[in-house]
Amino acid sequence: MKLVIKSFNLLVELEENIVDIFVIENPRVMTDVILNTINNAKSDSKILLIENDGQDIPSAKYELITSPFIISLNSKKILGSALKDIEASICENYFDKFQEINTDILNLLDQAILDLPYDISFDCIKDIKDVIKICDITFEEKQLSLLEKITDYIKLESKILKLKCIIFVNLHDFLDDDEIMLLYKEAFYQKVQLIMIESHEITKKLCERIHVIDQSQCIIEY
C-alpha cells in the first residue's frame, strides 16, 4: 500500500507493523489536507491510498477520524453490517428454529386476541430482519475507557467492514505512550494500517516513521 499527497510530492510505501506519522506544522495546510481527504475533493492537497498494483483504494476501505471522542461501536455502518451477518447466520444455520419461533409467536398473538372484547388484526413476521429489529442489538461501549473503545473499534472495522487503513488526527494528544503502543499492537494483530496526522512533533517510537511537513512545506523524514 502507498500513501500519496501530490501537493507535497510525497509518496510513502506503507509497511506492515509500521505506523507513519505526518506532522503538519502549518494549521491551514493541515486543515486543507484533512477536509479534502474527508470530502474526497478533487484536490492535490489530500491523502490518496493506492494498492501496490496502482489501483486507488476506495474510501469505503479506509477511514479518517478527526477525534477519538466521536467514535461509536454502534455506528450505522458497523451495526448495519453486523445485523446482516446475524441474518445470514440464521438463514444458513438456524432457519428451522426461526420458523418454529415465528409459528409460536403467531399462535400466542391469536390466543391473546381472542381474549379481547374488540376486533384487532396483526401482520405476521415476514422476514428475519423483523425479529432482529425487535431485539435492539447493540455493542456495549458505555463502560469502556477511551483506549478500549478505540481498540474495539479497530477490531470491528477490520472484522466487520474489512477496512484496510485508519487515519487518526492528533491521537497522541489523548493517549499516553503506553496506551499508544497497546493500540498499535491491536492494529498490527488485526492487519489494519495506521496513519497518524499530528500538528506537532512527538517522541519517535521504534515502530514509527516520522514525516514532518514544516511551515515552508519542506519535508523532513526520520
Domain with CATH 3.40.50.11940 in the chain: 2-73+140-221
Q: What's the CATH code, domain 2-73+140-221? A: 3.40.50.11940
Predicted TM-score of the model (pTM): 0.86
Beta-carbon count within 10 A of 219 CB = 13
**Nine-digit cell at 106?**
403467531
Instruction: Give 139-165 pLDDT, tens digit per residue.
Output: 988 889 999 999 999 999 999 999 999
- 65 contacts 149 by C-beta, under 8 angstroms: no
Q: How confident is the model at residue 52 (pLDDT cuts 50, 70, 90)?
A: confident
**Nine-digit cell at 79?**
451495526
Give me the pLDDT at residue 166, please: 98
Instruction: Give 59-88 pLDDT, tens digit per residue.
Output: 889 999 999 999 999 999 999 999 999 999
Work out the angle at residue 194's Cα, subtended by the Cα atoms of residues 190 and 195, and round it to the nearest 5 degrees. Answer: 170
